[in-house]
Structure 1
Amino acid sequence: MPPARVTSFVHEGLTFDVEDSGPIDGEVVVLLHGFPQRSSSWRRVAPLLHAHGYRTVAPDQRGYSPGARPTRRRDYTVQHLAGDVRALLDALGTAGERVHLVGHDWGAVIGWGVAAAYPDRLRTFTAVSVPPTGAFVRGGLRGPQLLKSWYIGAFQLPRLPELLAGRKPEALERVLRSTGMTKEDVARFRTEILEHGAFPGAIGYYRALPLAARGSFSARVRVPTTLVWSDGDTAVDRAGVELASDYVDAPYELVVLQGVSHWVPEHAPEALAEAVLERVGSAA
């Protein structure tokens, strides 16, 4: 049967929204957004991939899609999040095929989990901003990563982040501006995350971190991989990035973007698309 567009899929009783665009018969590139964003974060990258004949599939992930917002923190472990991606691939009808995977921020964390758990479903993987969990933790012992990750501890507080988002959203917006987000980016955060009701689910990812399986810290990837990191990133230190190759048993490349903030898909779409195209092209 000819391929068909996928606008939603169901996993564990949850319904996920999907943006499926580009040449319908092109090789599939799955795009996983990060925190605190939705699939629209790829709006400047996807057309550049379409121009080269690739079909892009970008889900609004668990906690972000209105029909996929469980309330228990254990529902947001990487095991569940990676399972969502596998269910998306099943919905695409790619059970006998492999796709290219790209993930930014939390999308990268999930991508590392998918690449480790389901390597037979992927042709390539491009992680953006975030190294493997083990490298991230080890890097935290060598450099300023713990200080940069202060917000992870803040998000563990019950109810307080949600109250702050509801009563003083401008405080969260100031924090995002300090990371390099533009006024347009922050306005999108207000409408797509806060007003859309996605914030509680979005911080569920962080609250589930203490429940991470011990094996996730040493999981290895056997998929051709590129890590794209920017030296203006205020959330992820280079120390962990430099250790990423220790967790990849396949062709690997680190691409460092100069003078770019953490928000690579919006602020350096051409450079990111170039890195993705180079990686997916290597699998031809």
Structure 2
Amino acid sequence: MRSTSLPSFPAATIPPSGRPRGRIAGLLPLLLAGQLLAVGIASAAIAPAASQPAAADLLPPALVADKHVVAGDLDIGYAELGPATGEVVVLLHGWPYDINAYAEVAPLLAAKGYRVIVPHLRGYGSTRFLSADTPRNGEPAALAADVVALMDALHIERANLAGFDWGARSAGIVAALWPERVRSLVSVSGYLISSQDAGKTPLPPQAELQWWYQYYFATERGRVGYARYTHDFARQIWQLASPRWKFDSATFDRSAAALDNPDHVAIVVHNYRWRLGLADGEPKYAALEQRLAQAPSIGVPTITLEGDANGAPHPKPEAYAAKFTGRHEHRLLSGGVGHNPPQEAPVAFAQAVIDASTL
């Protein structure tokens, strides 16, 4: 029988990130400390450099999208963990991240008996368009339809969906428009369904400032700049969106490799231009976008999450609580958690997925 909770630890040993730390048992006598310091200095002088672990060696094992399936307009690359007969969880990443945002969450869920699917979104990693003639479309309805197409291709009738950033928006859209396909939802920053009409409404200056990159992408200079400095741009977004997350270069570089997808820049630029009404969507998604423009409610069991140090634009929980008409719980992740909770607080995120699936 699948357990419904992750292992518990004494409160004092669990930091907000969800990773256990050791305790300091007490202060050593000064003499012993001096002796240890002397030994340490001597050892460091003779130890070969190879004895020091590299930053990459300290990372959790990478998720590898070594499976592929033709789904809709795409050949989708995805990672899969856990038993093939387990209850399905689909984990959706955002921009500018990749599947390794779930490098710790996915194994935790797989160990609990879930079948975990972690796909690269269109324009990321090993996911590719089937035809060179297909528009490189980043509109929300297209991204959400990719999720349904993936489930259809894998013969998954219903799944627990969880995501952050673009992934949370896509998961929420699927839950709103195809509720019969969704067992439960975990959504960082809650209700993110919007429309081009809503995007026409000016925001106060401070809020507009947070969307600086959206206006940058609206220009040809921005498109060329993002193509030239993709990795530098992504690193800056990571830092701004999660100002208290001290990720290292190895962590970033592993995910940034997924941004080298040949369609990445086109998808990102179209996504943000579409939001401002500066780019058209595809006619086949028009009916879906019309439904989304009505801000449909979400009735599936849902847990919404927010980090207490989220530096990216996000709505307040009270602004969207009424949009969740089914069983709904909101959780604030404290201690400096930013925009990427699955990577910054993996235990808490995994527990939310487990709890939502049993609401």
For residues 140-196 of structure 1, give each alpha carbon's deviation from its aligned partner in whole angstroms, at most 9, with x where no partner exists: 858954332222222222353343442585355334323335233432343221477
Q: What letter is aligned with 1:67? A: R
Instruction: Tell me whether 1:198 sits opposite 2:255 in the alignment.
Output: no
State, as a whole percentage, how many aligned pairs show the same letter: 30
Gaps of 5+ in 1: 1-5
Of residues 22, 26, 33 in structure 1, which corresponds to 2:86? Answer: 26
In structure 1, C-alpha distance between the alignment counterparts of 2:114 and 2:351, rounded to whole Å: 13
Q: What letter is aligned with 2:292? A: S
Q: Is the 2:169–2:191 Cα contact (8 Å) retained in structure 1? A: yes
In structure 1, C-alpha distance between the alignment counterparts of 2:120 and 2:228, rounded to whole Å: 22
Identify the residue that residue 156 of structure 2 maps to in structure 1: 94
Q: Is the 1:129–1:236 Cα contact (8 Å) retained in structure 2? A: no
Q: Which moved more, 1:263-272 or 1:77-86?
A: 77-86
In structure 2, C-alpha distance between the alignment counterparts of 1:105 and 1:243, rounded to whole Å: 17
Q: 1:33 to 1:93 in 2, by over 3 A?
A: same
Of residues 189, 213, 219 in structure 2, which corresponds to 1:151? Answer: 213
Q: The residue matched to 1:10 in structure 2 has which SS? A: strand
TM-score (norm 1): 0.84
Q: What letter is aligned with 2:141? A: Q
For residues 237-278 of structure 1, give each alpha carbon's deviation from its aligned partner in whole angstroms, at most 9, with x where no partner exists: 453x32222212211111111120112111100111111111
For residues 48-88 of structure 1, give each alpha carbon's deviation from its aligned partner in whole angstroms, at most 9, with x where no partner exists: 11121111001111121441387877722222211111111
Q: 1:72 to 1:229 in 2, by over 3 A?
A: farther
In structure 2, C-alpha distance between the alignment counterparts of 1:165 and 1:173, rounded to whole Å: 14
For residues 16-69 of structure 1, give each alpha carbon's deviation from its aligned partner in whole angstroms, at most 9, with x where no partner exists: 111111122110001111101222221111111112111100111112144138
Instruction: Tell me whether 1:67 sits opposite 2:128 in the alignment.
Output: yes
Q: Is the 2:160–2:357 Cα contact (8 Å) retained in structure 1? A: yes
Q: The residue matched to 2:306 in structure 1 has which SS? A: strand
Q: The residue matched to 1:208 in structure 2 has which SS? A: helix
Identify the residue that residue 146 of structure 2 maps to in structure 1: 84
Identify the residue that residue 325 of structure 2 maps to in structure 1: 249
Identify the residue that residue 103 of structure 2 maps to in structure 1: 43
In structure 2, C-alpha distance between the alignment counterparts of 1:207 and 1:71, rounded to whole Å: 20
Q: What letter is aligned with 2:153? A: A
TM-score (norm 2): 0.67
Q: Is the 1:144–1:237 Cα contact (8 Å) retained in structure 2? A: no
In structure 1, C-alpha distance between the alignment counterparts of 2:100 and 2:133, rounded to whole Å: 24
Q: 1:74 to 1:202 in 2, by over 3 A?
A: closer
Q: What letter is aligned with 1:129? A: S
Q: 1:26 to 1:161 in 2, by over 3 A?
A: same
Identify the residue that residue 311 of structure 2 maps to in structure 1: 234
In structure 2, C-alpha distance between the alignment counterparts of 1:160 and 1:140, rounded to whole Å: 21
Q: 1:220 to 1:41 in 2, by over 3 A?
A: same
Identify the residue that residue 16 of structure 1 maps to in structure 2: 76
Q: The residue matched to 1:90 in structure 2 has which SS? A: helix
In structure 1, C-alpha distance between the alignment counterparts of 2:211 and 2:188, rounded to whole Å: 17
Q: What letter is aligned with 1:120? A: E
In structure 2, C-alpha distance between the alignment counterparts of 1:269 and 1:71, rounded to whole Å: 39
Q: 1:167 to 1:264 in 2, by over 3 A?
A: closer
Instruction: Tell me whether 1:274 sits opposite 2:335 in the alignment.
Output: no
What is the CA RMSD across the aligned residues, in angstroms? 3.0
Gaps of 5+ in 2: 1-65, 282-288
Q: Is the 1:105–1:128 Cα contact (8 Å) retained in structure 2? A: yes
